[in-house]
Amino acid sequence: MPKEAKEQSPSTQLIAFLVHKVGLRDSIKVATLLWQWGVVANQLGREPTRIEYLAYWKEDQSTYYRYLGHLKRVWPNEVTPQVKWEWCRDNIPGVSKAESDEGILSLLLGRTP
């Protein structure tokens, strides 16, 4: 029998919410953007600018805006991933180790390193 939502880990609740809003494929894109944003935020010790994010990941603007578009389909009022990244960092154990594989696994799978 599936667990009630309140019994599930915050990461499981987040992924279920994302899948409900935008489907599995785009959920992974949103989670990836959140994680990548968190890596840069942790490195800088503050919210990164779009330019800092792009430079860190050597990504082009079109990819960033495409992924940001997926995030905005879930949370239309968000301008950057920062607020949602902070929620992940504060509520999902292990995700603050954003630079490591354990950090992304914590976000996507609810695993605690």
What pTM, to 2 d.p., does this model score?
Answer: 0.81
Residue 55 lies in a domain: yes
Q: Which residue segment(s) compose the domain that 46 sits in?
A: 21-109
Residue 95: predicted pLDDT:
73
pLDDT in tens, 37-91: 999 998 999 999 999 999 999 999 999 999 999 999 999 999 999 999 999 888 8
Residue 14 lies in a domain: no
Answer with the residue of higher pLDDT: 98 or 14. 14
Residue 53 lies in a domain: yes
pLDDT in tens, 9-38: 888 888 899 999 999 999 989 988 998 999
The tokens for 109 are 């799978």
Residue 15 lies in a domain: no
Answer with the residue of higher pLDDT: 42 or 97. 42
Residue 25 lies in a domain: yes
If one counts the domains in the chain, the total is: 1
Residue 93 lies in a domain: yes
Residue 113: predicted pLDDT:
46
DSSP assignments along 81-93, one per residue: SHHHHHHHHHHST
Residue 54 lies in a domain: yes
DSSP label at 94? Answer: T
Residue 27: predicted pLDDT:
92
Residue 92: predicted pLDDT:
83
Residue 61 lies in a domain: yes
Tokens 């914590």, residue? 106
